[in-house]
Amino acid sequence: MEKRITIITLGVADLQISANFYENILGWKRSPMSSENIVFFELNGVFLSLYERVALAEDATVDAAGSGFKGFTLAHNVGSQKEVDDLINDLRNKGVTIVKEPQKVFWGGYSSYFADPDGNLWEVAFNPFL
């Protein structure tokens, strides 16, 4: 299997709410591939898509029930500690839930976490080694 990922799909409770978050809070422009049932964002060589959680489970033929920690995180790295602070403050001012305040972390970086409307965890990090 080639070392490649094409799409990360987030199963969301309400597509309008989630699409509004990614488009109007994060400020990302949706891809023209989007439809009324699925919203795509073309990132750096990979797509992020938003799809109703129940429909996503149905597509994968699994039970949609689930709760608690989802067992994954997404990271958005930036170029300095100040960029972490600035981005987190900007998101906070827009009403975004900051899960972990920016701070130095044991591996030598500086990071923070915020949550999207479904509780998906985005880390905003500066990694001086990357």
Q: Does 130 bind a second copy (CB under 8 A)?
A: yes
Q: Does 1 bind a second copy (CB under 8 A)?
A: yes
Q: What letter represents residue 93's amino acid?
A: N
Binding mask 22-51 for a second copy (x = CB under 8 A): ----xxxx---x-------xxxxxx-x---
Interaction residues for a second copy, span 44-83 (CB under 8 A): 44-46, 48, 53, 56-57, 59-77
Please name which of 91, 76, 72 lies closest in space to residue 126, comparing C-alpha atoms.
76
Length of the chain equals: 130
Tokens (6 digits) for 25: 């809070």
Q: Give the Cα separation of 113 and 87 in Å (integer).
A: 11
- Taken in order 101, 21, 40, 50, the sign of the CA dihedral is positive
In whole angstroms, the minimum distance from the beta carbon of 67 to a second copy comes to 6
- Taken in order 15, 21, 26, 27, the sign of the CA dihedral is positive
In whole angstroms, the minimum distance from the beta carbon of 99 to a second copy comes to 6
Positions in the binding site for a second copy (CB under 8 A): 1-12, 26-29, 33, 41-46, 48, 53, 56-57, 59-77, 87, 90-91, 99-100, 105, 111, 113, 118, 120-121, 123, 125, 129-130
